[in-house]
Chains A and B, each alone.
Chain A
Amino acid sequence: MSSHNAMFSKVLIANRGEIAVRVIRACRELGIVPVAIYSEADRDALHVRHAFEAYCVGPAPSAESYLRIDRIIEVALEAGVDAIHPGYGFLAENPLFAAAVEAAGMVWIGPPRRAMEVMGDKVTSRKAMEEAGVPVVPGTQDPILDDEEAAIIAADIGFPVMVKASAGGGGKGMRRVDQAEDLASALRGARSEAGSAFGDDRIYIEKCIDRPRHVEVQVLSDASGQHLHLFERDCSIQRRHQKLVEESPCPVLSDELRREMTQVAVRAAEAMDYRGAGTVEFLLAQDGSFYFLEMNTRLQVEHPITEMVTGIDLVQAQLLVAAGQPLPFRQEDLEQRGHSIEVRICAEDPADRFRPSPGRVASLREPGGPWVRVDSCLYPGYEVPVFYDPMMAKLVVWGRDRAAAIARMKRALREFTLTGVRSNIPFYVQVMRHGPFVDGDYDTGYVDRHLGSDLLLDQGHHAEEAILAAVIASHRAEQELAAQGGSSSDNSPAAGSAWALAGRLARLGRS
């Protein structure tokens, strides 16, 4: 058994926004002094306001601040921290950063470097998982040289197959082929598309998984070699590979399949000599077969739903493990209780093709009440910067069962008021009452399939009330103006329009 090492006294959080706030909270609960870093654009950010110490690491662009390994190490040494928590995104999956942290004599709050390196690469991770007996999508990762070879491989895997670009990403150079006759033209098309998009026309063939769900398993390992799983999360509701809604448990997983999937995930962690928190992502096919997608060697955005159903604080567990302490629970102590759902609140306007909408938060009322959690970087007056990810907050609820969790999410969304910045809250209101979602009948194509057809944004049933509100606000604005001795009627039509004034007065709280 390892000796009980002392907990850190000071930890630097190499991140920003809601996740930095989240990690700061865990630090404070463990009596650790949290140290924040910030870019010049983030001086007023909430994570800086929550921290005990804060250091500027450079100009607004990430490449000049949150991605500057040298500068962050310098600041960490200056502050005298014991360890660095990378959050997610930015440098969280960069083995060079982990190496720099350790070379500077500090503790890296993350997995061993080898696991990061192996899992950080499509080809090596697939190979490692195949060796560990983890199912991978049938196909070849090696570039296919000629059409004849392609035909043999495709026939071997069985149609439908996907032709994909080796250098690929973002759907470019990707073709679905349903029958052998179409293969040659698909290969030609994919090659030329890949060539012009990536300057590399190599392609490979993979089995096409029809309407898959994205189901992932949370793993947690300590230094003593204990590898645990904390059950699954279903993250199938995505738009452009960006997860939007996550829930745990997955609504279609049988106990047997859950057992199988979580065991495979634990096997993956064992094979990697994993340490800390990680996530093994799978594609779940309609027939119940599942395939390794990738392993994220960090905390996930959607970790709170796992915390809600297990009662385990994953960030505290990460800190514990990094400090060399054994996990204070075993697999048999863990239980998946009730149901949890998370939605990601982003500065995107769903009424305008999810266009980014940075700006200043005019008003904000975050929901509360039982089993509602908001992990947020917002406050009234906060200027949402244009430089970073549009995710501003996560709304997480728990319920005794799925129906209770959906009802609670609906209620919480209705309480959530955010103006000044457009958000995708109205989109989630629709999802929560949308038949296929309520039935748990969805896959990764859900948003593309339903958005704009049967998943319509609320056009509003309260136009009459909105008119009442606008007219009274305008009327009050006129009264205010008259009281001040002026009459807006003398002004030019554009400058003196009553609504502009009404808005200004309303914001000032004059009523």
Chain B
Amino acid sequence: MAWEVTIGGASVRAEVKELDGSLYEVVIDGASKLVDVRFPEPGVMHLIRDGEAFEFDLAATDEGQEVTLYGTRYLVDVVDERRKVLRALGRGGKDGGSQVITTSMPGKVVALLVEPGQRVEQGQGVVVVEAMKMENELKASAPGVVAEISVGEGDAVEGGATLVVLAPVEEE
């Protein structure tokens, strides 16, 4: 099976063949590698290549597969080549220019700095979320008009939650 793999902005083509037992042949941009792979415990992959051993922790995130090796995280996006076309079609459809202000970490909304209908400028603070005794002010990345406020001050919010939606500014 063939995959398109993206890491650090660069893409390669990779093909995986399952051999005997835990042996795999992986062809990356034409170069073949033979690896022995085991999963000793949940979320952990142990890999031996030419006698060199590596232990990875694997986790799925919104942006791709997160692979951790000796404390360094690598974000790797792996897409089935057959699906690449579909993914391309799925993009850009309902992009009306709305900005969705979300929090990437769970926390508490300590202050709402805007009101519905208010015009905000690029870089203007919209909402302040506190997590672990630190306050984070989330800002507008472009000018907009407050279309929706989904939270109230004092609310506990999950990571990834939508807080405020900004509609694009109508040109006058």
Measured CB to CB, the nearest residue on chain B to A60 is B156
Q: Map CB proximity to B onto A483-511 as digits: 1 under 8 Å, 0 otherwise.
A: 00000110011101111111110111111
Question: Which A residues are CB-close (under 8 A) to B28?
Answer: 464, 467-468, 471
- Pick the contact of A356: B43, B78, B132 (CB < 8 A): B132
Question: Which A residues are CB-close (under 8 A) to B38?
Answer: 511
Let me know if B58 and A506 touch, CB within 8 A: yes
Can you identify 24 A-B contacts, CB atoms within 8 angstroms?
Answer: A356-B134, A358-B107, A358-B132, A362-B59, A389-B132, A390-B134, A414-B71, A419-B59, A460-B69, A460-B72, A466-B56, A468-B26, A468-B49, A473-B45, A474-B78, A492-B86, A499-B65, A500-B60, A501-B60, A503-B58, A503-B60, A506-B59, A507-B58, A509-B41
Q: How distant is A291 from chain B, measured CB to nearest CB, in Å? A: 29
Bound together, the chains give a CA A465 to CA B59 distance in angstroms of: 16
Let me know if B57 and A362 touch, CB within 8 A: yes
Measured CB to CB, the nearest residue on chain A to B70 is A414
Bound together, the chains give a CA A497 to CA B86 distance in angstroms of: 11
Q: Map CB proximity to A onto B54-95 as digits: 1 under 8 Å, 0 otherwise.
A: 111111110011111111111011111011001100100000
- Pick the contact of A468: B33, B43, B64, B71 (CB < 8 A): B33
With A475-B16, A499-B65: A467-B105 Cβ-Cβ less than 8 Å? no
Interface residues of A in 404-443 (CB under 8 A from B): 413-414, 416-417, 419-420, 425-426, 429
Measured CB to CB, the nearest residue on chain B to A511 is B39
B136 at the interface (CB under 8 A from A): yes
Interface residues of A in 448-488 (CB under 8 A from B): 458-460, 462-475, 478-479, 488
Q: Rank and list the top 9 A-B pairs by shortest CB-CB distance, nearest first.
A: A503-B60, A511-B39, A509-B42, A466-B74, A499-B65, A470-B76, A356-B132, A493-B87, A475-B16
Bound together, the chains give a CA A359 to CA B57 distance in angstroms of: 16
Question: Which B residues are CB-close (under 8 A) to A468?
Answer: 26, 28, 33, 35, 47, 49
Let me know if A465 and B90 touch, CB within 8 A: no
Question: Which B residues are CB-close (under 8 A) to A506?
Answer: 39, 42-45, 58-59
- Pick the contact of A417: B8, B68, B87 (CB < 8 A): B68
Bound together, the chains give a CA A506 to CA B35 distance in angstroms of: 18
Question: Which A residues are CB-close (under 8 A) to B5?
Answer: 467, 470-471
B113 at the interface (CB under 8 A from A): no
With A386-B132, A502-B65, A503-B59 known, 18 other A-B pairs at CB within 8 A are: A419-B57, A426-B72, A429-B71, A463-B7, A466-B76, A468-B26, A469-B54, A469-B58, A470-B76, A471-B5, A474-B80, A489-B80, A493-B87, A499-B60, A499-B77, A501-B60, A503-B60, A503-B66
With A469-B47, A471-B14: A493-B90 Cβ-Cβ less than 8 Å? yes
Bound together, the chains give a CA A13 to CA B58 distance in angstroms of: 37
Let me know if A499 and B78 touch, CB within 8 A: yes
Question: Which A residues are CB-close (under 8 A) to B26?
Answer: 468, 471-472
Let me know if A498 and B45 touch, CB within 8 A: no
Question: Which B residues are CB-close (under 8 A) to A498?
Answer: 3, 78-80
A94 at the interface (CB under 8 A from B): no
Q: Which of A351, A416, A467 has the largest number of chain B CB atoms within 10 A? A: A467
A238 at the interface (CB under 8 A from B): no
With A472-B26, A500-B60: A362-B49 Cβ-Cβ less than 8 Å? no
Interface residues of B in 11-35 (CB under 8 A from A): 12, 14, 16, 18, 24, 26, 28, 33, 35
A355 at the interface (CB under 8 A from B): yes
A-B contact count (CB 8 A): 204
Bound together, the chains give a CA A351 to CA B83 distance in angstroms of: 32
Let me know if B83 and A386 touch, CB within 8 A: no
Q: Map CB proximity to B onto A14-53 as digits: 1 under 8 Å, 0 otherwise.
A: 0000000000000000000000000000000000000000
With A347-B132, A471-B3: A478-B58 Cβ-Cβ less than 8 Å? no
Q: How distant is A312 from chain B, measured CB to nearest CB, in Å? A: 32
How many residues from B make CB contacts under 8 Å with A? 64
Bound together, the chains give a CA A478 to CA B60 distance in angstroms of: 15
Let me know if B12 and A467 touch, CB within 8 A: yes
A300 at the interface (CB under 8 A from B): no
A357 at the interface (CB under 8 A from B): yes
Question: Which A residues are CB-close (under 8 A) to B134?
Answer: 355-356, 390
A316 at the interface (CB under 8 A from B): no
Q: How distant is A320 from chain B, measured CB to nearest CB, in Å? A: 34
Let me know if A363 and B43 touch, CB within 8 A: yes
Bound together, the chains give a CA A426 to CA B79 distance in angstroms of: 28
Let me know if A419 and B132 touch, CB within 8 A: no
Bound together, the chains give a CA A106 to CA B153 distance in angstroms of: 41
Question: Which A residues are CB-close (under 8 A) to B159?
Answer: 359
Question: Which A residues are CB-close (under 8 A) to B54?
Answer: 462, 465, 469
A371 at the interface (CB under 8 A from B): no
Question: Which B residues are CB-close (under 8 A) to A351?
Answer: 73
Bound together, the chains give a CA A357 to CA B108 distance in angstroms of: 13
Let me know if A358 and B57 touch, CB within 8 A: no
Measured CB to CB, the nearest residue on chain B to A462 is B69
Measured CB to CB, the nearest residue on chain A to B31 is A464
Bound together, the chains give a CA A468 to CA B3 distance in angstroms of: 11
B106 at the interface (CB under 8 A from A): yes
Q: How distant is B141 from chain A, measured CB to nearest CB, in Å? A: 16
Let me know if A502 and B58 touch, CB within 8 A: yes
Q: How distant is B82 from chain A, measured CB to nearest CB, in Å? A: 6
Let me know if A388 and B74 touch, CB within 8 A: no
Bound together, the chains give a CA A386 to CA B99 distance in angstroms of: 26
Let me know if B45 and A466 touch, CB within 8 A: no
Bound together, the chains give a CA A498 to CA B81 distance in angstroms of: 11
Question: Which A residues are CB-close (under 8 A) to B14?
Answer: 467, 471
Question: Which B residues are CB-close (under 8 A) to A503?
Answer: 58-61, 65-66
